Amino acid sequence: MSSPESPGSTPDPRTWVVIPLYNEASVIAGVIHGLLPHFSNIVCIDDGSSDGSAQAAQAAGAHLVQHPINLGQGAALQTGFEYALAHDSCDYIVTFDADGQHRVEDALAMVALARADNLSIIFGSRFLDKRTNPGWIKRVILKTAVWVTNLTTSLKLTDAHNGLRVIRRDAAERIELKQDRMAHATEIVLELGRTRLPWREYPVELLYTDYSKGKGQSVLNSVNILVDLIVK
């Protein structure tokens, strides 16, 4: 689906983009530069990186919050939520991955849909988009994760572990993540489901590059999702 924004349009001042950041120094500036023409407020939560990611993010124009040690993606998201919500300019939060696998066009369309249809939560789903091909092994594993997640939450999703989400302030204020690793993705679904606020899924394309696969989109990482679901 095409972006609702036209070239040269004013960046959205009422939406904060929250990016968990861990050792993505080579790509994070490009991710931020792609977002800034459309979103005024971007905060990167550097989760104990050792490769200069924090400096690269700040130089690119993002707000920066740093964890002195690696606490996990769940903790980074929670810190980002709290930082964004501390600003009166935050009506919506977009969660966006640091490795370049998400499309800005999808984030824009999801925010526009949330506003147009008065939705509190929009989950991105790669399985509603025919362009995304994670491979059959990963597809099976992720579908299994969806099945397990749907058993434990009140939401019935097609993609439970997609990092691209739009969360309105009223929903974000009720999130308190305690899971640190991949199980946080199920925890956030559970907490958002408990709000009983209006939600929807939206088809998004994930860009599976050699870089993103090497940084955590491997089959092994998908297996780790299932392990975290079982032991959480």
Per-residue pLDDT of the chain (232 residues; tens, 9 = 90+): 444 444 447 999 999 999 999 999 999 999 999 999 999 999 999 999 999 999 999 999 999 999 999 999 999 999 999 999 999 999 999 999 999 999 999 999 999 999 999 999 999 998 886 655 555 455 555 555 555 555 555 667 888 788 999 999 999 999 999 876 657 777 888 888 888 899 999 999 988 777 766 665 444 454 455 555 445 4
The answer to whether position 2 is within a domain reads no
Amino acid at 64: L
Q: Evaluate whether residue 40 is within a structural domain.
A: yes
Nearest to 98 by CA among 189, 163, 162: 163
Q: What one-character DSSP code corresponds to residue 93?
A: E
As to burial, measured by CB atoms within 10 angstroms (0-12 exposed, 13-18 middle, 19+ buried), residue 4 is middle
What pLDDT score does 16 carry?
Answer: 98
On whether residue 3 sits in a domain, the answer given is no
CATH code of the domain covering residue 186: 3.90.550.10
**Does 215 reside within a domain?**
yes
- The answer to whether the beta carbons of residues 204 and 125 sit under 8 Å apart is yes
**Which structural domain range is residue 207 located in?**
12-231
Question: Is 103 a member of any domain?
Answer: yes
- For the chain, the domain total comes to 1
Cα dihedral 70→216→39→74 (10° resolution): -40
Q: Which pTM value belongs to this model?
A: 0.83
